[in-house]
Chains A and B, each alone.
Chain A
Amino acid sequence: MSSRTLPLLFINLGGEMLYILDQRLRAQNIPADKAKKVMNDIITTMFNKKFLEELFKPQELYSKKALRTVFDRLAHASIMRLNQASMDKLYDLMTMAFKYQVLLCPRPKDILLVSFNHMDAIKDFVKDTPSILSQVDETYRQLIEIYTPLSSGEFQLIRQTLLIFFQDMHIRVSIFLKDKVQNSNGRFVLPTSGPVPHGTQIPGLIRIFSCTGEEVSRLQFSNGGNYTSALREGSLEMFGDRVIKLGTNMYSVSRPVETHMSGTSKNSSQHTKVNTAPNPLAKEELNLLARLMGGLEVKKPGNTESGFRVNLFATDEEEEEALISRPDELSYGVINIQATKDQQANAELAKIMGEFTEAEDQSPHASSKGDDLLAMMDGL
């Protein structure tokens, strides 16, 4: 459908990922300098010039598998490590959060405001690092250039494309359940109250006109809801009040990150594979991954920075348990890159990966971490 969807999907999911990691890094009392390094490394990789060039090209949305693989790599762009269960949970939270934001956007165009909320927060994370800051600013400019001229109908197409991507995902998120924005069956609450979108009138008025254009009568009807007038329009400039709260950071120390997995298998049994091509990764997807990994710094051997592991669960036992009990239909099927038929792209990719993992293996502390990485890349 829309060929302009991928950048918005990537930036918003990336933003949510950063919110969650930031909260977990604090919760686990990771030293401030290490935490900052992780955030900076991930943001640097996200906004790598070549990677963004590839991302912003008009193209169809990636398959769920391919996108998950991209985020796996992104989450490991630094010294931080995540086990499979934690990575799964991280991805669940990211996707359900963005699904919620897309669904509840008052107007399709507001997805851009949501994206800017994420961008504003990312900018704040790196405000002390001018080099990364300039990459982020450049991305703002690209977003403004590409998206502000689009019509309402084109934005709705983008939104519809995103909703197809998120179709049938009903994972329950604790923070959503607590705030009563998600029901216990995993579906989001759609209120029939509150401000109407900018440009829409409160429902209730019928105006009848004569042939000459004069209004001859007005009738009111009851709209079945409790609506109020629209708020002012959010700013689509580099700086400004976005007005909409969707896309701002909903996590804090007192509102931790958790998910429920039980009971979701009943409702999520319908999975239609949209992309039934035999190659698990299309050529374009491989290109993007190659660019992403090309942007990763190869860690030199003997690097004294030792990696550390972040856990998305409260304890190691919980993490272990989550991995075992995860329903089959919710596994993301991270792609085995070695298995792709595209020989040349595969060779290039393997070479880049090889450069990265070789360095990892030579570091005395990192051998198991390297295995972790490979395991993640090699699939289920």
Chain B
Amino acid sequence: MYHKEKSIQIKNSASALYNNLSVLRIAPRSLTYFTVVHANVVNMVSASWDGLNYSHRQLQSKEPNVATSTSLIMQAAWCVLPSRDLLVLTSQKGIQMYESDGSIMVYWHALDTPETPTAQAVFARGIAAVREKYICVGVSSGAMLVFDIPTKGSNITLAEVLEEHKESITDMASECSGSLECIADLVSADDAGNLCVWKSGEEFQLLNKIPGFDMCCSSVKLWKGTVVAGYGTGQIRLYEAVTGILHAEVSAHARWIYSLDIAPFSGLLLSAAEDSLVRVWHLTQTPETNSVEIAHMYNECVTDTQICGAKFCDGDGYAFAVTGYDLSEIIRYTQT
């Protein structure tokens, strides 16, 4: 179904972090941006579609105006809003937001880090753009920070703190189908596998809470009202977001799942795990019977690699990209 293309070399190897690849497609400029996290550095590559031009940039996590402070980055992801795209970095010290090409930092939010380290680690992780004007970021305490984003400029403010999760946030996802009919806007996941489903607004409203079974949910997506969740046991589960009804359960991987992605136009699902495998699935929804089905389409083994990031490069799922721990390249595949 897919074949391997030329890989993109990156300046550093990828760290073993959940969802460690973000892709931004810029059609008007025939470019695709990729980011991969390596310890305290984010490697950004911009690749032209003709495969001829690559340019690299590195971003470090640090408080502005403080020369020596560095901290490990947990995640980097683009947030696509109607008026602008922002690149968000979450680290042990706080949250940074950059213009989409990484050129200017427009916002810094510091986390409350205690004087002496505590048993509970402190970091931010889990990033999602929600509807027109919000960016949500998760925190190790389980809190979720909701930022209000103006159409331009740096007047970003913290609008709300949602405290529903009790364990560290692992991932967040907003409804990606583009449909305005879906009631649920956002799903958040934590270390205990609990999922929270939200409706955005002046005040975010908790629509549903789907309990986990003390097994970490490391990656989550929301598509046409269906939550797709990947777990440390290698399972994928599909839930109806608003009701919590379990549609399907898949024994998908032999190791911890690190990344899920959905191609919204085609309903293709990408899953990747520590077991070296990337799998492509197809989701179909039948609204009349309120059923959702998942079918297996394809396997790709990235030999001797614990995969940490996998994303489709376009809305149809025509191409996807993969990163792995200790690997200094972004491996790409396109449909045959």
Contacts and interface: CB of A to CB of B under 8 A. Distances in A.
Interface of A: 1-4, 57-60, 103, 106-108, 151-154, 156-157, 159-160, 163-164, 167-168, 170, 183, 187-190, 192, 196-197, 199-211, 213, 219, 221-225, 227, 270, 272, 274-278
Given A203-B234, A209-B249, A274-B40, A167 B70 contact: no
B254 A200 contact: yes
B168 interface: yes
A1 B40 contact: no
Nearest to A170: B326
A274 B254 contact: no
A206 B117 contact: no
A151 B121 CA distance: 13
Contacts of B38: 167, 272
A14 B296 CA distance: 45
A151 B192 contact: yes
B191 A108 contact: no
B63 interface: no
B276 A4 contact: no
B121 A2 contact: yes
Nearest to A59: B117
Given A199-B215, A270-B12, A190 B276 contact: yes
Interface string B293-305: 1111001010111
12 contacts: A151-B214, A152-B191, A153-B218, A156-B232, A157-B121, A167-B15, A192-B277, A201-B235, A223-B254, A224-B299, A225-B301, A274-B39
Interface string B42-74: 000000000000000000000000001010101
Interface in B187-235: 190-192, 214-216, 218, 232-235
A210 B92 CA distance: 42
Contacts of A160: 15-17
B324 to A, nearest CB: 10
A152 B233 CA distance: 10
B325 interface: yes
A214 B33 CA distance: 44
A20 B297 CA distance: 48
A208 to B, nearest CB: 5
B234 A190 contact: no
Contacts of A270: 11-13, 328
B86 interface: no
B123 interface: yes
B246 A275 contact: no
A1 B123 contact: yes
A159 B251 contact: no
Interface in B89-130: 92, 116-121, 123
B290 interface: yes
A340 to B, nearest CB: 15
B72 A225 contact: no
Given A151-B167, A190-B276, A208 B247 contact: yes
Contact of B295 (A1, A219, A272): A219
B70 A224 contact: no
Nearest to A189: B304
B87 interface: no
A202 B233 CA distance: 10
B121 A209 contact: no
Interface residues of B, number: 66
B291 A210 contact: yes
A219 B328 CA distance: 37
Contacts of B68: 276-278
B234 A192 contact: no
Given A164-B15, A219-B295, A3 B118 contact: yes
Given A151-B191, A201-B233, A276-B70, 13 more contacts: A1-B74, A2-B121, A3-B118, A103-B306, A156-B218, A160-B16, A163-B15, A197-B254, A200-B251, A200-B255, A204-B251, A213-B246, A225-B254
B270 to A, nearest CB: 15
B275 interface: yes
A219 B167 CA distance: 34
B20 to A, nearest CB: 10
Nearest to B91: A1
B304 A227 contact: no
Contact of A167 (B119, B235, B250, B326): B326
Contacts of B119: 3-4, 58
B256 interface: yes
B191 A227 contact: no
A3 B114 CA distance: 12
A152 B18 CA distance: 14
Given A3-B119, A204-B251, A156 B277 contact: no
Contacts of A211: 245, 290-291
Nearest to A269: B328
Nearest to A186: B326
Nearest to B252: A203
A149 B120 CA distance: 13
Given A152-B214, A160-B15, A205 B251 contact: yes
A342 B252 CA distance: 53
A105 to B, nearest CB: 10
Contacts of B174: none
B253 interface: yes
B1 interface: no
Given A60-B117, A202-B251, A1 B234 contact: no
B248 interface: yes
Contacts of A59: 117
B294 A206 contact: yes
A227 B216 CA distance: 22
Contacts of B92: 1
B35 interface: no
B170 interface: yes
B296 A221 contact: yes
A95 to B, nearest CB: 14
Interface string B278-311: 0000000000001101111001010111100000
B4 to A, nearest CB: 15
A192 B273 CA distance: 12
A201 B251 contact: yes
**Residue with the greatest number of chain B CB neighbours at <10 A, chosen from A103, A106, A153, A190:** A153
Nearest to A165: B39
Nearest to B69: A277
B41 interface: yes
A206 B118 contact: no
Contacts of B291: 208, 210-211
A190 B119 CA distance: 32
